[in-house]
Amino acid sequence: MAADTTDLDDTRDLDDLRDRARRWLDDDPDPATRDELEAVLDGLPASAAELADRFAGPLTFGTAGLRGPLRAGPNGMNLAVVTQAAAGLVAWLAAQDATGPLVIGYDARHGSREFAERTAQVATGAGRPALLLPRPLPTPVLAYAVRQLDAAAGVMVTASHNPPQDNGYKVYLGAQLGGELGAGAQIVPPADTGIEAAIRAVGPLADVPLGPAGQVVGDDVVVSYVDRAAAVVDPAGPRSLKVAYTPLHGVGAAVLTAAFARAGFGIPGVVPEQAVPDPDFRTVSFPNPEEPGAVDLLVALAERTGADLAIANDPDADRCAVAVRDGRAAGPAPVSGGAWRMLRGDEVGALLADHLMRRGVHGLYATTIVSSSLLRAMCAARGLPYDETLTGFKWIVRAGGGPLGEAGSDPLVFGYEEALGYCVAPEHVRDKDGITAALTVAELAAGLKAQGRTLTDRLDELAAEFGVHHTDQLSVRVDDLRIIADAMARVRAATPTTLLGRPVTEARDLLPEADVVILRTDGARVVIRPSGTEPKLKAYLEVVEPVADGDVPAARTRAAATLAALRTEIAALVQG
């Protein structure tokens, strides 16, 4: 987040900033970040803007935990910030009388192992057992381990698909504090504010007692995760399928290939340049499978090897992207010259939900307010319960009666969000899980292949039945978060009464519960909100086009044109 440094030429302001930096230096346990900050101080006054940004405020511990750039100072991820966060979390757990260990996982990003080990030292120093996962592993393994090891809470050190200069810190609660709906799920209010208050109450870091770096658990928990993951697919189903795969330089490859083998599938071919964890993500400009160019090497491998399906995980393997061979001119997100295209998250979500419904999986199906309305239509037509939540899997897994069910409610059996997150087995992992999602997509694709059909054929069937639900996203990345606040204020002050020439039939402002504005017309929907994890303003767009006389391609062409016009109109609205 950029800081306002317009008054830093005032000597008193600069002296105050320098004093704050010196106090931070005195308390920083890491020689490397102390040297880094000393260099910034030596550069004053020319480095005043950079110093101000590092001290613009502490990283706030919210429902997504901590996430920020690796750098010295309170507005970054570093050993001092992690020590304070861990001390606050452990103190909060003690205040809640939570028993059991703290289980800690980490990915292969810069600093992840060090931050995980420091968290374990803080926990053991406070008298709480700490269990460290044996190596860099996917986030779903940590979420699974929280429940499997009966932990009081879990910490995952990861920045998911953020740029290489970032890292983060996610917290999961065990059954004692999370209850039936939140056992092994990410925190929600008021836990986040309670932990944040406990973090701010931590005194000098030199006074935080440090114990040993916990107990490194054996591979049993990983083997157990793989066994349970493989069990999400029908053991008697077809298995003839050739898959190309990339972990995008992340930690998913070993676990995913083991799960595929355990489930009876052939081991996917892995993009060699991206197979080994690399914290610098050297072959991609941005380690997010949704970003342009991120899956080019994957598609090249799929084309070269004649794969039926191409699958990508994000670096911590909680998301799953799917590319299919499809030369349709009207298809969204073409890659490799149009021979392959990425399926949108809403398309994969609909395919997985439809597949589970056809398998006879009864219970609650859930998604978020920014995802396609197709799942709602499918549940209504098939007599299945449906719920819609705020964005984030911390809410999805708590939808309706939750994974364990309650008296008079339906258990959650499937949840997804359009940002490539899918939960196909809530009783296994109560979070998005890119490994089990990949397995379930493979099961569906193999079954269709045995019938001489493809995933795109099934998408066309759904379109013919429910209409073409065409979705897209408009993202505005900023350096100054005030730009997002100004845009949201502008939308609220001048909420449109028409979209695409049609009357707006619903204009909902979800404040104060959430910073979200929803607009609907007959056949279109727009959801505008700030991103919860990145400095972006996002607008989620959807148009629904009926299919006339079974002509799905014509309906897709009309929907694409309508969506392009809607995108232009919303871009003008949010950008002023």
Tell me the catalytic residues.
Answer: 160
Task: Provide the residue type at 501 as one letter.
Answer: G
> How far apart, in whole angstroms, are the C-alpha atoms of residue 516 and residue 507?
11
Q: What would the DSSP string read from start to end of 448-514?
A: HHHTT--HHHHHHHHHHHH-EEEEEEEEEE-SSHHHHHHHHHHHHHT--SEETTEE--EEEE-TTT-
Scanning the structure block, which residue is given the tokens 């916990």? 214
Asked whether the bond before 247 is cis by omega within 30 degrees of 0, the reply is no
SS3 call for 186 = strand
Residue 319's contacts (CB-CB under 8 Å, 6 or more residues apart) are: 160, 161, 289, 313, 419, 420, 421, 432, 434
SS3 call for 446 = helix
Strand partners, 73: none
Scanning the structure block, which residue is given the tokens 């699958």? 311
> How far apart, in whole angstroms, are the C-alpha atoms of residue 247 and residue 311?
9
> How far apart, in whole angstroms, are the C-alpha atoms of residue 493 and residue 516?
14
Strand partners, 536: 477
Query: Which whole-number Å values give the CA distances from 157 to 114, 394, 423, 434, in the listed order?
Result: 10, 17, 21, 17
Structure tokens at 405: 């069910």
DSSP tag of 258: H
Residue 405 burial class via C-beta count within 10 angstroms: exposed 0-12, middle 13-18, buried 19 and up: middle
Q: Are 112 and 136 in contact (CB under 8 A)?
A: yes
Task: Provide the residue type at 381 as one letter.
Answer: A
Q: Are 57 and 75 in contact (CB under 8 A)?
A: yes
- How many other C-beta atoms can be found within 10 angstroms of the C-beta atom of residue 494? 10
DSSP tag of 547: P
Asked whether the bond before 512 is cis by omega within 30 degrees of 0, the reply is yes
Query: Which whole-number Å values give the CA distances from 1 to 60, 188, 225, 536, in the listed order?
Result: 12, 24, 37, 11
Scanning the structure block, which residue is given the tokens 């990508």? 312
Scanning the structure block, which residue is given the tokens 């020689």? 31
> How far apart, in whole angstroms, are the C-alpha atoms of residue 181 and residue 199?
25
